[in-house]
Amino acid sequence: MRTLAFQMPDRGGGPTGPRIRATGRPSRRVRTLLLTLGVLAALGMAFTMFAGFWTDWLWYRSVHYSSVFTTTLWTKIGLFAVFGLLMAAAVGFNVWLAHRLRPPLSAMSMEQQSLDRYRMGIAPYKKWLLLAVTALVGLIAGASAAGQWRTWLMWVNGVPFHQKDPQFHLDVSFYAFDLPWYRFLLGFGFATAILSLIAAALTHYLYGGLRVTSPGARATGAATGHLSVLLGFFVALKAVAYWLDRYGLAVKSSDFKATGNWTGLRYVDANAYLPAKTILFCIAVICALLFFATLWRRTWQLPVIGFGLMVLSAILIGGLYPAIVQKFQVQPNEQTKEAPYVQKNLKATREAYGIDDTQVTEYKGTSTTTDKTKLRDDVDATASIRIMDPNIVSPTFQQLQQMRNYYAFPTNLDVDRYTKDGKVQDTVIGLRELNLAGIPKNNWINDHFRYTHGYGVVAAKGTEADDQGQPVFTESDLPSTGDLGTYQQRVYYGEKTNTYSIVGGPQKEIDYSDDNGEKLTSYAGKSGVSLSSPINRAAYAVAFNEPQILYSGAIGKGSRILYNRTPKERVEAVAPWLTIDGDAYPAVVDGRIQWIVDAYTTSNGYPYASRTTLGDTTADSLTATNNSRAVVAQQNQVNYIRNSVKATVDAYTGEVKLYQWDTEDPVLKTWMKAFPGTVQPKSAISQDLMDHLRYPQDLFKVQRELLTRYHVTDAQTFLTGSEVWQVPDDPTNKSGDAVPPYYLSMKMPDQSAQTFSLSTTFTPNGRDNLSAFMSVDSEAGSKDYGKIRILKLPTSTTVDGPKQVQSKFNSEQEIAAAIKLLKGGDSEVEYGNLLTVPLDGGLLYAEPVYVRGAGVKYPLLRKVLVTYEGRTVFENTLDEALDKVFGTDGSDTGSSDTGTTSPPTSSGNPTVQAALDDAQKAFAAGQEALKKGDWTAYGKAQDELQDALKRAEEAQSKAGGTGGGTTASSSPSPSATSPGTTASPRAGSSPSPSGSSSPSG
């Protein structure tokens, strides 16, 4: 029976016919108007795109890092063009080939008649449709490839680590630099094969090469050969994927209860997955060859059988067999089977995070010295205990040193070291930055032309407070004067400076204000981008969505626009391959204010090293309340990190400098090859700058989190989990977040002198007693800089941890009574940093206590809590507390296990309790008088309060309870607070800024 056939129409053009005269055709004027609007819209879109590109180029040129912009740009363009063209060419070629291989005749059927309408419809537009499809897939592929510019630069510039992985014995650089690029190429190949296969199959179907319902063969020989080659290419890529997966096992992540986010091979990987991947590779190669063989055999039988075999093998060999090995070989004897691989993980993780040289020392946790005088003297030699908490006293700086509402200090101040009379002193420091929310009137001129910068450094001793509980300032007032000498005080770039300013033009800026009025200035630096060009002005008007930039008369000759003004923002922009530490800090260096920014090189391709999430690991109670302290991470998950770069940003000029800090880091060397000339050598760091460099907090937090598990070097102990620690929650608040590490000048037991250190504590997993104390030498000029020391407490005895110490502080009856007095009225008590200091085998805890009064909305230091060897005291000053805790004030130290040795005032001595009750009444009367503004009554209440406290002290002494604990005299006047430092109207009495005329610490 003959099959009816017809020749498939394939016309070069569409059907023609009489032209229909359009009705209601727009007039020429309307058409011209629409055309004009269309052209203007296109020009507007083009200029908007140009404005973004042009302003970026101008900014990078202004900071002298144009090479970063051009290198990144040309890399993206190159990747976009190459991979976009490859994808477009591959898809376009396969569509063209499928069309060329179309059958000249096809069976008559309903299916083909339906397709014929589509063929006729697209016939006039075939070339344009082909160009559109290939252009679309090319654009998508090119955009995806352009996003891989970091991967490309690391692959093409990669330098060796000179360390080999323990399984395949390949250099670590293969996993860090090469494997990511090979995986991208493989993914691109898969995408190309799939898109080409889909496009070719659709074309064959449209033109009759593939049939679904038509009689006869389902595919022509040409279509069979074409599609088989594409499927063979896909399967060949799958073979390559199986081969790369073998190496990928060394950096594969998996959850493992002993290690958390495990990276590397385990027993099942080495003994089941690895051979399975090799077998699957061989099967995939054979399967691919079978697909290619259809070019000659023109049958699907063998390729389909081979593909089925590959799928079945993947299920059985790649899935079922490893599961059986895990279930019946590993789980019954997990520790023995996994121990060799855990040992590799231990070694690699410690190397990757720089904790392999951690010094762990056994520490007994109790003192054996009976000479209390010697212990008291040793405290001063062991640590400079900082009672000014930089995370508490910012409001105090603000109240006492703000000077004008348009200045502000950061929420968290910083700790640094400055030398005075040859002695290094821990210093709390902050900059008086611009605060636009505080200017008298907000408008465009004020916000961007007149109020442009902050002014001056404010610094205070970290270890002292004055008799009013205020910081002892070493640099203060406006303009700032003090120990720091002469320096450029204007702050145009800072952590709070997050808007643009236009400076240097006809509009003068407010420099600062004093008793003689406002002082005006004009920016003399070379920072920013010139707005003298109309093109620049138009570009910034579009980029900032601010049309006034284009026509404002306040902009003229010499006008420059400053933006991207926060230190972290600037460093991240000029070095987009770095991860930025969350805490930039200011320092006066060589006569200028410099922001110092720590930056990290990271990788997630270090074989066998466990991964960690930077955002989670660096979170603590400070980042929970201040998002600006969060780490700026390019790669959130990492398993290798180095503090390779120290960066500075000039607060006046905005100049960014990058210094090589880790001279051995291969990741930094790779990026320095990719961006030559951007990072200066370590030798370029001046001595003055070196004096202010320190060990970064975020790196320390990452390392301490890893050391909760990886302080153990024995695989068996590691697997049991018996030595797992945890970072305790911050005991000074109820946030439930980790305690932040603290900078402190201190001496560890094996050190001969104090060094600037960063320290933290550990507690056993699930318990609150202390398990270890960790400190790292943070003095950049020290030979031991970066050395991590851990004092490991015995497991056979318990030593109080931070939470337990804080609990004892709060539960002591006398301390609780004093705290209650401090909280009288509307006052609030704030606990400062709980500092831990190793001392003579024991641990000394010290915590400043601040009171924020009702009338004075800033905290003042009122008390210091100290505990040592189970003995707790609560005194006005640190010296008094140390003298009392060691009994060097003449009191008997006793041998109390509960803290204070004095009897509870609430029940043990009614006379003391009566005096304290009178003190409470007097305090309440003073608060009431303060609210009414009755200064006479307020002064009388203060006198009564002093008398009551004196009587309580005398009664306590007579009762024999002066040793070691809180006495009535140690309870200050409860911060009744009067506004500011205004003198009291009462004759002969001048209340302190806390509103109390009583002495305080």
- pLDDT top residue among 502 and 962: 502
Per-residue pLDDT at 834: 92
DSSP single-letter state for residue 628 = G
The pLDDT value recorded for residue 945 is 75
Between CA 549 and CA 563 the distance in angstroms is: 14
pLDDT recorded at residue 322: 87
Query: Pick the residue with more confidence: 788 or 912?
Result: 788
Position 120, amino acid: M
Higher pLDDT, 909 or 380: 380
**Overall average pLDDT of the 597-606 stretch:** 94
DSSP string, 299-362: -SHHHHHHHHHHHHHHHIIIIIHHHHHIIIIIGGGHHHHHHHHHHHHHHHHHHHTT-TT-EEEE
Compute, in degrees rounded to 10, the torsion defined by CA atoms 802, 804, 810, 815: -90
Closest CA to 768 of 804, 732, 805, 720: 804
pLDDT mean across residues, the chain: 84
Instruction: Kindly report, residue by residue over 726-737, the tens digit of the pLDDT.
Output: 999 888 877 778
Of the listed ranges 18-22, 413-417, 903-907, the least confidently predicted one is 903-907
CA distance 319 to 334: 20
Q: Show the tokens assigned to 744.
A: 């402190």
Q: Which of the residue ranges 116-125, 283-292, 404-413, 684-693 would you say has the lowest mean pLDDT?
A: 116-125
Residue 445 has a pLDDT of: 93
Question: Where are the strands (E) in 5-132, listed by range?
Answer: 5-7, 105-107
Instruction: Give residue-wise pLDDT tens across range 512-562.
Output: 887 788 889 999 988 999 999 999 999 999 999 999 999 998 999 999 999
pLDDT grade for 878, boundaries at 50, 70 and 90: very high
Looking only at the bridges linking them, the beta strands covering 359-362 and 788-792 are parallel
Beta bridge partners, 850, equal: 830, 861
pLDDT score of 990 more than 60: no
Let me know: does 943 contact 963? Beta carbons within 8 Å: no
* Unique residue bearing structure tokens 């306040």: 554
Place of tokens 């496009």: 199
pLDDT in tens, 830-856: 899 999 999 988 999 999 999 987 767
pLDDT of residue 34: 82
> Mean pLDDT over residues 469-487, rounded?
92
| Predicted pLDDT of residue 697 | 94
pLDDT at 991 over 60: no
Buried b / exposed e across 428-447, counting CB within 10 Å, b at 16+? bbbbbbbbbeebeeeeeebb
Would you say residue 995 has pLDDT above 50? no
For residue 961, is pLDDT > 90? no
Q: Which helix (H) or strand (E) holds 562?
A: strand 560-562
Which tokens sit at 393?
């006293």
Q: What pLDDT is stored for residue 149 in this prediction? A: 96
| 980 contacts 856 by C-beta, under 8 angstroms | yes
Beta bridge partners of 833: none
pLDDT digits (tens, 9 = 90+) for 246-280: 999 999 887 766 556 788 899 999 999 999 999 99
Judged by average pLDDT, the poorest of 426-435, 550-559, 950-959 is 950-959
Residue 192: the pLDDT is: 96
Portion of the chain with pLDDT greater than 90, in percent: 50
- Rounded Cα–Cα distance for residues 624 and 634 (Å): 20
**Which range, 630-644, 887-901, 933-947, is most confident?**
630-644
Contact 265, 317 (CB under 8 A): no
- Asked if the model's pLDDT at residue 83 lies above 70, the reply is yes
User: How far does CA 806 lie from the centroid of its chain?
Assistant: 29
Q: Give me the mean pLDDT over the 397-403 stretch.
A: 91
| Cα distance between residue 971 and residue 592, in whole Å | 44
Taking residues 798-825, what's their average pLDDT? 84
Q: Strand 755-764 relative to strand 481-482: parallel, antiparallel, unpaired?
A: unpaired
Higher pLDDT pick, 439 / 4: 439
Determine the Cα–Cα distance for residues 886 and 881; give it in Å rounded to an integer.
Answer: 9
- Tell whether the model's pLDDT for residue 772 goes beyond 70: yes
Region of 192 (left: φ > 0; alpha: ψ -120 to 50; beta: rest) is alpha
What pLDDT is attached to residue 957? 60
